[in-house]
Amino acid sequence: NAGVTQTPKFQVLKTGQSMTLQCAQDMNHEYMSWYRQDPGMGLRLIHYSVGAGITDQGEVPNGYNVSRSTTEDFPLRLLSAAPSQTSVYFCASSYSKENRKLFFGSGTQLSVL
Amino acid sequence: DQQVKQNSPSLSVQEGRISILNCDYTNSMFDYFLWYKKYPAEGPTFLISISSIKDKNEDGRFTVFLNKSAKHLSLHIVPSQPGDSAVYFCAPQGGSEKLVFGKGTKLTVNP
């Protein structure tokens, strides 16, 4: 049982490049979400999904897209990377939106030059 | 509008003493309160939670207290151990699907 798996662990991009951060969970969780962690800012919600085919915006959605075609996968797409998107990204999941205990992946450290 | 405030960015205590981490919230719709612990280079992990119908929940060395009238909760760690050194996030929930977190308090337990 792998839990929540994020890839890659590290990534360096140039401004304007696009990329996809992958997130997969094998716990059959309905709820999945993406957070970014910045110094002094804590964890801020980017996007979330309460089930396959359903996504919604969090606190800081601009510059990011998500989709949820399967229960297991919830990729985060950076459309045109900017230095302000340099951050550590965490994917998290829970059994449902009502069950609030989140399981987190180990994170992706992204640098945009 | 910051719904969740952890006003102490850092806290340093001696091994064996009590650590008290505080969290204040503004949204009266919150009905479930979680604490997460995060080590460097790892994802946060769930530590302890409390429902709004209770004012105290204890799990080993960790106790969470909830004061609904003051919209305040605290996490007590007794006795503190060096392995408790981490960042602790308060995460009140309820009334929304958006699960929000406080900014975190970095706890350092000195041997």
Q: Sign (positive/negative) of CA torsion A48, B49, A40, B16?
A: negative
- Closest partner CB to B98 (pick from A4, A42, A48): A48
Q: What is the pLDDT along chain B (111 residues), one digit of tens a residue?
A: 678 999 899 999 999 999 999 999 998 889 899 999 999 999 999 999 999 999 999 999 999 999 999 999 999 999 999 999 999 999 998 877 677 899 999 999 999
Question: How high is the pLDDT of residue B17?
Answer: 98
Is there a contact between A43 and B49 if contact means CB atoms under 8 Å apart?
A: no
**A40, A44, A107 member nearest B43 (Cβ):** A107
Q: Is the pLDDT of residue A34 over 70?
A: yes
Q: How close is the nearest chain A Cα to the Cα of B80, in Å? A: 23
CB-CB neighbors (< 8 A) of A92 in chain B:
43-44
From B103's Cα to the closest Cα of chain A, the distance in A is: 4
- Tell me how far apart the alpha carbons of residues A61 and A105 are, in angstroms, rounded to a whole number: 19
Model confidence pLDDT, tens digit, residues B55-79? 999 999 999 999 999 999 999 999 9
HSE at residue B63, side-chain half, CA atoms within 13 A, is 12
A104/B41 CB distance under 8 A: no
- B9 CB within 8 Å of a chain A CB: yes
Question: Which residues in chain A touch residue B101, judged by CB atoms under 8 angstroms apart?
Answer: 35, 42-44
Task: Confirm or reject contact between B39 and chain A (CB < 8 A).
Answer: no
Structure tokens at B18: 């009590």
The values of phi and psi at residue A102, to 5°, are: -90, 145
With beta carbons less than 8 A apart as the criterion, state whether B76 and B63 touch: yes
Choose, out of A47, A68, A95, A102, the residue to mutate when testing the contact with B (most B CBs < 10 Å).
Answer: A102
| Sheet of B45-51, strands arranged across | B10-14, B105-110, B86-93, B32-38, B45-51
In this predicted structure, what is the pLDDT of residue A26? Answer: 96
Q: Which of 41-60 (B) contact A at CB < 8 A?
A: 41-46, 49
